[in-house]
Structure 1
Amino acid sequence: MRAQNGDQSFAHRCRVYYEDTDAGGIVYYVNYLKFMERARTERLRELGFAQSQLAGEDLLFVVHSSEARYHAPARLDDELLVSAEVIELNRASLRFKQQVRRATDATLLCEGQFLVACVRTNSLKPRAIPETLRAAFAAVSGAGQQSKQEI
């Protein structure tokens, strides 16, 4: 089900360190994916769900597919704001829309979408997102309780 554009925005703050940059002092493209991963993890944490707790409950989230577009470079010492908005909530997956912006001027640096599947810890087989977690995401994203059967 498609979420209505989320009313409650979320942004994770992070800083660009030397290790994040290439020889030209610009953030290496793959590091934007790391920044976005951290924002998704912090979004879960803000909702009251730690990844370590979920793993103990036979639940992992794995990236099924990703798409990223790069608009402008981030550089050493830039402070970034990384959003993580759920735009689709299915039976066993979430689709996130994410943006990385420079904090000082809100310039859009990178944006992407990530389909994240809910799987069992040991078998890595799809499993339904627990109702408590589904309700938490639905509350902040505007997504309803209806689900799809696909990942």
Structure 2
Amino acid sequence: MPSDDAVLADLADLILNVGRLVRARTPDDAPHVVPMTETERQVMRVVDLYPGAAPSEIARRTRLQRTNVSTALRSLEGKGMILRTATDGRGVAVHPTELAETNLQVLREGWTRELSGALGDDLDAVRQCADLLSRLERHLTS
């Protein structure tokens, strides 16, 4: 029986590998799928989870350098994925666009097809796993 530390390390390794495998099977040539770099994906994840976040909050939540976030935001804005709006003072709020929402919907449909083929009808276990991973994500981005 593996130790508690080994179980946690194995979980982290599996999360990374499964994420890589799902991404490799994601159709990036489908209509409405905008190709993105890994940094852009991380930034979009935070923008989707926290619409209206400031660039500094995005950098904090992604654990990326502010300059890398700024570069990704410029690129995402150029791709039509985000809209930056001025807030009180000199602040900026970042919001996903309709294109970003369509892009995410197409990706989610592909992920659903991929995972349903592998996991079948065991939705209770999937919900438990999703809850666990959501809790982990909230902790890591707080």
Structure with greater helix share of residues? 2
Greater percentage in strand: 1
**TM-score band, normalised by shorter chain:** under 0.3
Radius of gyration: which is bigger?
2
- What's the TM-score, normalizing by structure 2? 0.28
Question: With CA pairs under 8 Å and 6+ residues apart, which has the higher RCO, 1 or 2?
Answer: 1
